[in-house]
Structure 1
Amino acid sequence: MKKYLIILATLFTILSCNDDFLERPPLDTLTNENFWQSEAHLVSAANALYTAMNGKDLLNMFESMGETAPWAITTAYRTIGGGNYATDISQINNIWVRAYHNIGRCNYFLNNYKRAVTVSENIRERYAAEAYFFRAYDYWILTTLFGDVPYITKELNVYSPEVYRGRDPRETVINNIAADLENTYQNLPAFIAPASAQFGRISQAAALTLLSRIYLYNEQWDKAASAAKRAMGLGYELYSTGNPANDYRNLFTFTGRASRTSANKETILAYVYNFDLGEDARTSHNLSRELWVPNDYSRFAPTNKMIEKWLTADGQIWNPATVNTYEEVFENRDPRMKQSLLAPNTPWEGRKDGNPNNTNAAVFTYPKFSNDKDGCMTYSGYYLYKYVEPTKVGQVSQDDNDIIFFRYAEVLLNYVEARERAGGVTQATLDSTINLLRDRVGMVHLTLSNIPAGSDLRKEIRRERTVELFFEGHRYLDLIRWREAEVLGEDLLGVNRRWLDPSKLTAGILNTLKWKTVGGEQYLIIESGRTFNPAKHYLLSLPLNQMQRNPNLRPNNPGWD
């Protein structure tokens, strides 16, 4: 039986198929002089660091805060993205506390791992590099969301002065975590094979992908390009079996999940789940069912904003005015659209759809707008297809599909974006990055001589990122760093009413819904009353209770006091 790294969100206890882990007591009982004596101790301590990867919660948080596929009904994270929250909202505090809890674990490891003197230096430094990776990951999130934050590298107790430390400049934090990664990434294995016992651990490619993100988010273009370029030469490649109609989607199903599929050399780092373990050790999530809930509403709601992002099949900007039916929305578009959203006449497991004339519940034909608990209802008129593993829709919380954190496609997109911002994009750059992504799905190339009318190269690079990395937790953070987040203050809108055929819907259902007129067209309202103040919302408020405990964190970010 293959061994998979299984990561449980329990304090200092990580279990895997390896029975050795089941025999070890929790790490917090092993901090005496007898610990840090063996490689097994190092591995146990390093495994505990992987709880920094919050699995499917990555999507719950950052997709809900974005505007392309948020949670379908109001949640705290959607409220944060919509700008209507106060400084005492618990989710802001949770982000802060979770990050510093993880950082504390990393500091504990880094301050103690050299005590394992009987372990070879190479092995010690490999696991230390994992600790530096996770500490950098959490500081990257903190600085992106909050700006200046306390930079702590020591173990703390209630008597430590650093408990009441003020905020360090974002630049200082970034410089330090970037230096940590630069100095330690080569201590990691360059490539970790998919479907291997080691898959799920940190590789050089993972560290360099994170490093390219850090540089990109902080406008260090040449360094971002360098980090991405180094990651491009470590053995990873786009997942493709020569099936352009399905390869992109299959990357996010059991067909292509890297923890079990040796052909997937695209996934660099994923949160690995395994429901096949014993009852006390299995791990799973509920994403596939949440996207096609057979007796309730689909939990995530793709919006009209995203519908308009996909280009036409010939690479031009899509014009909604040319469409007259719901079916036509999906036709002659970038092939990734049909592999990301559920198109009419596609097999599904959501049971009864919205078309009373559809006699085959195994095939989706039309959106369902009434939540009568008999079939999957949508609040936007659209359903996700990406990340749906159909075999898991009928089971509650038994989905053990991988949740991807880093993949090779992002490396390519980081590289081309950095090169464009540095002023160094050539056609060869596009052909070795964006056009490789398009080749996988059979999409026409982007060329410098044929930028879509009404656009420019930078816009198209950003569009490509939005389309390729759709529903992977990037959108909110990208909008923030691009300084384009004012769109978060706009109403969340769904399908155009003109495209819907009343004869394919329950009689009168459209009249029960709320619509907004935009440019003479009526769009389904998902949420209104959102706001985004550029002087305030590009950074989150510091958590109120953290400022109360530590007044040295003040002043709060601009606009929040």
Structure 2
Amino acid sequence: MNKRYIYSTCLAVGLLTTTGCEKFLVQDHPTSVYDELWWNTAADAELGLYRCYVGIPHGLSGRQIIFLDALSDQLVARQSTRGEYEAYVKGIQASNWDKSNHIYMDNYKTIRRVNRLLENIGKVYMEDWLKDRYILEARALRAYYHMELLLLFGGVPIVTTALSPENSYMERNTEQEVYEFALSELLQCAEGLPAKYDFADRTRITSGIAYALATRLALFYHDYETARHASLKIIESGEYELYRSANPTNSYADLFSYAGEENKERIFFRDEGNSGAFTAIGMPSEGGQSVLSPTAAIVDTYQLKDGRNLSELSADSIALFHRDPNHKDMRDPRLKASVLLVGDTFMSSTLNPFDNSIVNANRLGNQFSTVTGYWVKKHLDERDKVNTPTTRILDFMIIRYAEVLLSYAETLVELGEWDHPDVLYYVNLVRNRAGMPSATLKKYDSKEKMRALIRQERSVELAFEGVHYFDIRRWGTWKEVMNGTVYGAVDPETGRKIEVETRTTNGDRSFWWPIPEVEMLSNPKMEQNPGY
């Protein structure tokens, strides 16, 4: 056959069922011409590289990064039109699970685009320095897509060529092999990529992004020395800083709104990636749909403004803060910035999910309202209520500087340097920006206590950003927090937290996602993950 290759998920990983892939055999992308005719000018290469960036996920639409926290103890997801997240937390997901299929296929489709560019860019007439940069960007993106597959599925095929039908049946590489491949590519590319670009190219892969991805990857695999090296590279670059608004008390809240969108804290972000916010976390009274609802578990994680945890209070005080989580505005300001509580006001709506009157669109149990009694406030901006084709949508931050600072501090603790001055220095930078007091060695006087502090900080600082799901898995707390009853707000009639659902997630089985059924049926060399 000729070299009119398939540009689709099907050939990316050997999903070659005749009916499903036939249409891709007759037309190419992005130009519907042969590779021999397409790759000529710098404009051709630029368009090819642009298509490699298309796979970067959004926050609340498409791949829905934030929804990953509905697979953790922070959020509950409803409405199956956004994905069968409920099946996963009940442990009944199978190889036909929609989210597994979507992410697996989407990543390999984009990996194929990257490989196509890398195999053909040598033919393009363009300046060598620009060609070299495009190659580094593409390799870093390919590593990122492999990394995401690895963190969800375990060992997967490493694909470094634009597969043709003849060589599309690939075996799984081991976890270690995929880890070493992705990490090596990220670190190598980081050394050659620019530290920053002009504003027009601000979404392109930088050295900081490559190091930030390497940090996340190394942390997941407990390679703390590598994670320390990569995170320190970002810190020492001087390119990033924690965002602070003109009114410092609003810094954390503004960071997730249009007011603070242009900032030096964001490292890796999706341009206009916050689309669909109102149809995922808005309330019905304002025309939204509350597909995601915060749990009592995350609400109870926030400290008081004086630095005490709820667990340090008397039984009566704990009960008070369960009934009224932000009683007298005494809690960590990040709670108010991230969660809408009973009695809070958003736009023209005062929220009371326990008001069962028919005119209350936000009542508990309403089809599109909260299921826990809480709403997500982070990422919700009133300007998103009505979007028109000319309205700019808020960007979504995938990795930001605060995470890197906490990651660096965590590496020091896990390497036995829990009392290193840098640990509390960087943790307190994050806490102080949010309006919280500095933590001290007087209170956190052991490795175990310092570890607990950093885990708590990551949980509240990065809540609803799609990070916590990976954290609880790498921390080994997965089974503990993902089995049992999920609670919401306190019902004023009963005085008890409402019971939202019972989760029976099998940690051993659910740790890895299932390889999609279509891949299993079409690729005889593919092996399924245990339990599926």
Same fold (TM over 0.5): yes
User: Percent identity among equivalent residues?
Assistant: 26
Q: Which residue of the other structure, out of 336, 339, 342, is the alignment partner of 1:341?
A: 339
* Separation in 2, partners of 1:54, 1:399: 18
Q: Which residue of the other structure, out of 147, 151, 169, is the alignment partner of 1:140?
A: 147
8 Å CA contact 1:66–1:78 kept in 2: the answer is no
Q: Which residue of the other structure, out of 76, 79, 91, is the alignment partner of 2:99?
A: 91
Q: Which residue of the other structure, out of 492, 496, 501, is the alignment partner of 1:522?
A: 496
8 Å CA contact 2:416–2:447 kept in 1: the answer is no
1:21 alignment partner in structure 2? none
- Secondary structure class of the residue paired with 2:334: coil
* Separation in 2, partners of 1:185, 1:199: 16
Where does 1:60-459 land on structure 2 (aligned, <5 Å)? 61-73=67-79, 75-116=83-124, 118-160=125-167, 163-192=168-197, 196-234=199-237, 235-241=239-245, 243-258=247-262, 264-273=263-272, 285-293=275-283, 294-295=286-287, 297-319=289-311, 321-322=316-317, 323-324=319-320, 326-330=323-327, 331-343=329-341, 346-349=344-347, 351=349, 353-354=351-352, 368-369=363-364, 371=366, 377-394=369-386, 400-451=393-444, 456-459=449-452
Amino acid at match of 1:285: S
Q: CA RMSD in A?
A: 3.0
Alpha-carbon distance, 1:233 to partner: 2.4
Alpha-carbon distance, 1:327 to partner: 3.5
Residue 491 (1) aligns with residue 494 (2): no
Alpha-carbon distance, 1:393 to partner: 2.3
Amino acid at match of 2:35: N
Amino acid at match of 1:107: N
Alpha-carbon distance, 1:537 to partner: 2.0
Q: Which has the higher helix share?
A: 2
Alpha-carbon distance, 1:220 to partner: 1.0
Alpha-carbon distance, 1:341 to partner: 1.2
What are structure 1's unaligned runs of at least 5 residues?
Answer: 1-9, 12-24, 259-263, 274-282, 503-509, 511-520
Alpha-carbon distance, 1:31 to partner: 4.3
2:17 alignment partner in structure 1? none
1:291-339: per-residue Cα shift (whole Å, max 9, x none)? 2232565221000110111112122221475143743545321121111
Alpha-carbon distance, 1:484 to partner: 1.2
- Secondary structure class of the residue paired with 1:189: coil
8 Å CA contact 2:345–2:351 kept in 1: the answer is no
8 Å CA contact 2:257–2:380 kept in 1: the answer is yes
Alpha-carbon distance, 1:136 to partner: 1.1
Distance 1:402 1:527, change over 3 A: same
* Separation in 1, partners of 2:307, 2:106: 42
Count matched residues.
Answer: 488
8 Å CA contact 1:63–1:471 kept in 2: the answer is yes
TM-score, length basis structure 1: 0.80
Alpha-carbon distance, 1:132 to partner: 1.3
* Separation in 2, partners of 1:430, 1:385: 30
